[in-house]
Structure 1
Amino acid sequence: MNLKSGLKIFLIIFLFLLILFSIYIYLNLEKMGKVDQQISGETKIFLPKEFIKGELSVFDSIKTRRSVRDYAKEPLSLRELSTLLFATQGITSGYKRAAPSAGALYPIETYLAVNNVEGLAKGLYHYLSQEHSLVIVKPGDFSREIRKYCLDQDPLENAAVNFIWSAVFERTTKKYEERGLRYIFMEAGHISQNLYLQANSMGLGVVAIGAFDDEKINQLLDIDSEKESVIYINSVGRK
């Protein structure tokens, strides 16, 4: 075999391996992006994509951000809620979301306890980031139950909507093992801060809630505590 023939064989093998590697990367990127839990048999509510930029710069929103526990009775619009969802867990490019996630594995699921949003009946909802849509988990007013399970904190009952974030731990720990738990809680913090800053720029108030009965909230959302658990709650309302 001469040098020219050997080089040709090498190039063919190299191109073949490059194609296989590209296919592997593509399939894994698709898998990373499509991690939303699906609730079968439910009607999807597609949210408006005319997002609100807000009236404050990022710097001014950071500077004036405060936790707000008292809310006006005026409802949020569906467009405002849509904007907040996009700012926290929305798809910004390809499969990537508004908040960073270790390994782009996105273990966090977003649930909503809707109390006072125009165009949405009261109830528990699940957000599907891939489609920017909601599905209803349970209809009804759960504000008192959520307040009770969060150690009787007033904002939860008076909020227009409560953002409830759960973690599907295996998505991250299967790659990062025990250290993945740190990354999950970091990610929840990133998401919450996005909510704070976007809400503040729109004249809305937020307060983060860390004290709650995990199991009671899990049961309320009908999630399997062996695989998934609520890790953070934020209340949102008009100032």
Structure 2
Amino acid sequence: MKIDVLTLFPEMFSGVFGSSILKKAAEKELVSYHVENFRDFSDNKHKAVDDYPYGGGAGMVLKPQPIFDAVAHLQEKNDSNPRIILLCPQGEPYNQQKAEELSQEDHLIFICGHYEGYDERIREHIVTDEISIGDYVLTGGELGAMVIIDSIVRLIPGVLGNEASPILDSFSSGLLEHPHYTRPADFRGMKVPDVLLSGNHSKIDEWRQQESLKRTKNRRPDLLDKHPLSEKQKKWLNE
């Protein structure tokens, strides 16, 4: 997968792309990252990328020209028809299903804005996806892009050591993940559930399913409204 990021602050990404799982994914050549300052594409002699909004109002608006030209450059360079993602508080709320969908793509371009907003022609004529990571406003789209990229890259086959890990994550199944325990079995009087020490894998699997349902009901009951439950799961919930 190729991931391009258009931003006014490329330095923000060096630590993220150079650490942990994202770094290892690049070292395995499963993904490549490229961060571009779209100010470099401005045709203004002062390299301005924003201007006052028509009709008046507070703040500055990102001009279409630098972003149009930067996107065209990346498309030509990669000879591709990528998904172009605009980070925006007005966008589609981000979730695990969207991460799984985007992880199937070969090329993604993220546009990280600043100031009051984007010229509407950017949304209308370039962007394929507008995404929000939550109902709040950030200074720019960079942090949102980092969150989304991290959630996508870890789903690429071969990135994680255990291929089952992303399948069992919270939200991948539609429910929250079950509790986890590790050694010691008894830590200061706090004991690991007996079933996990039993070696009975069918019982362990049943316990995990039950705990996943219980945790979802207690913490995110809204998820159960979207999740089709089997008769066995309904019985467990009632119990």
TM bucket normalised to smaller: under 0.3
Radius of gyration: which is bigger?
A: 2
Q: Which one has the bigger strand percentage?
A: 1
Per the normalisation by structure 1, the TM-score is: 0.22
Per the normalisation by structure 2, the TM-score is: 0.22
Greater relative contact order (CA < 8 Å, ≥ 6 in sequence): 1
